[in-house]
């Protein structure tokens, strides 16, 4: 590769903030709201023209991590995550229940996220990329931002990296892991004119199955759309014959009886590599189109369906995970771990999609609620920076469980609250007192301790 030297240039300081958040997905939106509500002057920088990340642009409309899958289906995500669902429900754009996912409408979530961020007083910059951290020694002191207005810098006492890919942490020199054989990406698509159940039947919560002793059965789910059921064996044969591209599930979701989200495409690529990501977007649309035709021709309720749209961002599951002061493990998930600096609860199954080109379904471990410690958000060797969302410090298995929308919102709320405390006290995030942080989170109605566990039933 050839190189040229970029001429040195003066960057305008756009704003001097207390807290700067990169990425407005579930984690970043919640981090910005939490920080601003705690009185911090907060800037949120989002690359797309809307907030919500995967849960809006990626069309992931089945919000997970809210309810434990084991009876009595304890609600573990409250705080800002609970408020978002309640506000969306009031606008007809979500449905709260005790099921293993909460269906939502991405267009309504975009509006709710806008409202919550702006009401909190956050300065919002859409269509703006945080391209690099501004680093002074080992301390991050702001972000370089590029958008239609040019290149500028946003200074901040604390920066929160909620880019999903830990872009900022990696560029600040923080250690991270990124495995060979990343979980596949998925181009989500929406089908219209579905002749399925009545709206009432579609809205019925569908918790997973249990044995009499309350032990989760390894029963397989197709989200909640019991009215859209492809013949799994026939579909597997079609795959073997090369008639359909590699697929996962397929899983279906959606609030409305006549419209469904299809989560099925599987593309093997790396979102931290621009060429690979470009290939993924193009191939993902092709595979979505091919899968649509297979489903339309072979599933009774989809015979007259129409292909309405694909997500504006391909669905991203896995890339970099930072190496933090604590690395959450699959063992922690299984032992229902508790930590002195626990900032919230995870409960989703250890959902690691196979990277070997296998089609169909997978199901791993279904946990009781476990705590996630604050230290998973502190990248080793870097100060002034918190990482929130799916790229916190965790092994693959733990990441498979904590990477869902509800849990990422909870992590974002904890990061934003800690960032505001650090900024107010002029200390680094690493110096934030965990018990005081927990006190603040409790005031915000964040659930830190589960009511139920395998030992207390
Ligand atoms: C197909 C699929 C199905 C899934 N199914 C479920 C499910 O059923 N239930 C569930 O709860 N979860 C599910 N997930 C997981 C979940 O949606 C994501 O893991 C979750 O959204 C991660 O949240 P996040 O905030 O960490 O990152 P993201 O949602 O990826 O948000 C990151 C945000 O940062 C922005 N950004 C990135 N880089 C920059 C930058 N440099 N500057 C500015 N902005 C930037 C992006 O545009 C985006 O808005 C699924 C994921 C996929 C892909």
- Listing DSSP states for 391-420 in one string gives TSSB-HHHHHHHTSHHHHHHHHHHHHHHHH
Among 21, 24, 25, 109, residue to substitute to test ligand 1 (most atoms within 8 Å of Cβ): 25
The answer to whether 120 and 21 have CB atoms below 8 angstroms apart is: no
Report the atom number in ligand 1 closest to the C-alpha of 408: 23
Shared domain for 426 and 290, answered yes or no, is no
pLDDT at site 229: 81
Give residue for tokens 């250890």.
Answer: 350
Smallest CA-to-CA distance from 156 within 169, 144, 172 is with: 144
Whether 405 is covered by a domain: the verdict is: yes
Report the atom number in ligand 1 closest to the C-alpha of 131: 41
Among 312, 386, 404, residue to substitute to test ligand 1 (most atoms within 8 Å of Cβ): 404
Shared domain for 216 and 237, answered yes or no, is yes
Whether 202 is covered by a domain: the verdict is: yes
- The percent helix, strand, coil of the chain (3-state, each to 5) is 30, 25, 45
- Determine the straight-line distance between the first and last CA of the chain, rounded to whole angstroms: 61
- Number of domains, the chain: 2
Pairing of strands 139-147, 129-136: antiparallel
The answer to whether 417 and 35 have CB atoms below 8 angstroms apart is: yes
d(CA 322, CA 386): 10
Burial of 240-252, coded b for 16+ CB within 10 Å and e otherwise, reads eeeebbbbbbbbb
Shared domain for 176 and 198, answered yes or no, is no
CA of 7 to the centre of ligand 1 (A): 35
CA of 50 to the centre of ligand 1 (A): 13
Shared domain for 117 and 147, answered yes or no, is yes
pLDDT at site 26: 98
pLDDT at site 214: 44
CA of 214 to the centre of ligand 1 (A): 32
CATH of the domain at 398: 3.50.50.60
Count of helix runs (H) and strand runs (E) in the chain:
11, 17
CA of 163 to the centre of ligand 1 (A): 8
Whether 409 is covered by a domain: the verdict is: yes
Give residue for tokens 């609860």.
Answer: 345
Give residue for tokens 């107010």.
Answer: 424
d(CA 313, CA 296): 24
Whether 8 is covered by a domain: the verdict is: no
d(CA 355, CA 294): 23
Shared domain for 29 and 149, answered yes or no, is yes
CA of 321 to the centre of ligand 1 (A): 14
CA of 22 to the centre of ligand 1 (A): 13
Shared domain for 273 and 395, answered yes or no, is no
Shared domain for 177 and 325, answered yes or no, is yes
Contacts of 143 (CB under 8 A, 6+ apart): 20, 22, 45, 130, 131, 132, 133, 134, 153, 154, 156, 159, 168
3-class SS of residue 27: helix
Which pLDDT tens digits describe the chain residue by residue (457 residues)?
899 998 998 999 999 999 999 999 999 999 999 999 999 999 999 999 999 999 999 999 999 999 998 878 899 999 999 999 999 999 999 988 877 888 899 999 999 999 999 999 999 999 999 999 999 999 999 999 999 999 999 999 999 999 999 999 999 999 999 999 899 999 999 999 998 765 445 544 445 554 444 444 443 333 456 678 889 899 999 999 999 999 998 988 888 888 999 999 999 999 999 999 999 999 999 999 999 999 999 998 899 999 999 999 999 999 999 999 999 999 999 999 999 999 999 999 898 888 887 776 676 788 999 999 999 999 999 999 999 999 999 999 999 999 999 999 999 999 999 999 999 999 999 999 999 999 999 999 999 999 999 875 4
Whether 78 is covered by a domain: the verdict is: yes
Report the atom number in ligand 1 closest to the C-alpha of 48: 47
Residue where a domain stops, chosen among 310, 326, 345: 310
The residue whose CA has the least distance to atom 41 of ligand 1 is 130
CA of 295 to the centre of ligand 1 (A): 26
Report the atom number in ligand 1 closest to the C-alpha of 315: 53
The residue whose CA has the least distance to atom 48 of ligand 1 is 53
3-class SS of residue 110: helix
CA of 26 to the centre of ligand 1 (A): 7
pLDDT at site 361: 64
pLDDT at site 362: 72
Residue where a domain stops, chosen among 244, 277, 310: 310
Burial status of residue 226 (CB atoms within 10 A of its CB: 0-12, 13-18, 19 or more): middle
pLDDT at site 198: 53
Residue where a domain stops, chosen among 310, 338, 370: 310
Shared domain for 145 and 31, answered yes or no, is yes
Shared domain for 145 and 199, answered yes or no, is no
Whether 82 is covered by a domain: the verdict is: yes
Shared domain for 29 and 167, answered yes or no, is yes
Give the domain range for residue 241.
189-310
Whether 431 is covered by a domain: the verdict is: yes
d(CA 31, CA 242): 44
Measured from CB, residues less than 6 Å from any atom of ligand 1 are 22-28, 45-48, 53-55, 58, 60, 62-65, 101, 129-130, 162-164, 167, 186, 188, 263, 315-317, 389-390, 403-406, 408
Among 43, 51, 60, residue to substitute to test ligand 1 (most atoms within 8 Å of Cβ): 60
Shared domain for 306 and 323, answered yes or no, is no
Among 109, 163, 313, residue to substitute to test ligand 1 (most atoms within 8 Å of Cβ): 163
CA of 283 to the centre of ligand 1 (A): 20
Shared domain for 276 and 322, answered yes or no, is no
């Amino acid at each position: 590769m050839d190189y040229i030297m970029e001429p040195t240039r003066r960057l305008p300081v756009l704003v001097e903030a207390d807290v700067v958040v990169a990425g407005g997905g579930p984690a970043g939106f919640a981090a910005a709201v939490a920080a601003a509500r705690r009185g911090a002057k907060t800037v949120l920088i989002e690359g797309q023209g809307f907030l919500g990340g995967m849960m809006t642009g990626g069309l992931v409309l089945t919000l997970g991590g809210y309810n434990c899958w084991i009876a009595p289906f304890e609600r573990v995500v409250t705080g800002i995550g609970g408020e978002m669902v309640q506000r969306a429900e009031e606008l007809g754009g979500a449905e709260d229940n005790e099921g293993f996912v909460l269906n939502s409408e991405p267009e309504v979530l975009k509006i709710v996220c806008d409202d919550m961020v702006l009401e909190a007083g956050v300065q919002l910059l859409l269509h703006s990329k945080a391209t690099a951290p501004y680093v002074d020694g080992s301390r991050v002191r702001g972000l370089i931002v590029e958008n239609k207005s040019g290149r500028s810098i946003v200074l901040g006492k604390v920066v929160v990296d909620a880019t999903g890919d830990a872009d900022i942490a990696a560029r600040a020199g923080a250690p991270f892991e990124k495995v060979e054989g990343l979980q596949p990406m998925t181009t989500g698509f929406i089908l219209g004119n579905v002749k399925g159940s009545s709206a009432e039947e579609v809205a019925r919560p569908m918790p997973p199955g249990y044995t009499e002793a309350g032990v989760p059965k390894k029963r397989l789910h197709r989200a909640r759309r019991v009215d859209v059921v492809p013949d799994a064996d026939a579909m597997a044969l079609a795959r073997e014959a090369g008639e359909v591209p590699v697929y996962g599930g397929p899983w279906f979701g959606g609030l409305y009886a006549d419209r469904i989200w299809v989560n099925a495409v599987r593309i093997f690529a790396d979102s931290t590599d621009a060429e690979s990501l470009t290939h993924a977007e193009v191939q993902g649309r092709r595979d979505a189109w091919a899968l649509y035709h297979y489903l339309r021709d072979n599933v009774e309720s989809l015979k007259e369906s129409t292909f309405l749209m694909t997500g504006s961002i391909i669905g991203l599951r896995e890339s970099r995970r930072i190496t933090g002061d604590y690395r959450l493990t699959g063992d922690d998930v299984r032992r229902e771990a508790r930590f002195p600096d626990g900032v919230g609860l995870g409960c989703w199954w250890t959902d690691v999609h196979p990277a070997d080109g296998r089609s169909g379904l997978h199901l791993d471990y279904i946990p009781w609620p476990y705590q996630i410690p604050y230290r998973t958000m502190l990248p080793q060797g870097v100060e002034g920076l918190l990482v929130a969302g799916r790229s916190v410090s965790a092994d693959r298995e733990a990441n498979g469980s904590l990477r869902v929308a509800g849990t990422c919102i909870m992590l974002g709320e904890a990061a934003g609250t800690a960032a505001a405390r650090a900024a107010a006290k002029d200390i680094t995030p690493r110096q934030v007192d965990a018990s005081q942080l927990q006190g603040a989170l409790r005031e915000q109605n964040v659930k830190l301790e589960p009511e139920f566990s395998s030992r207390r039933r």
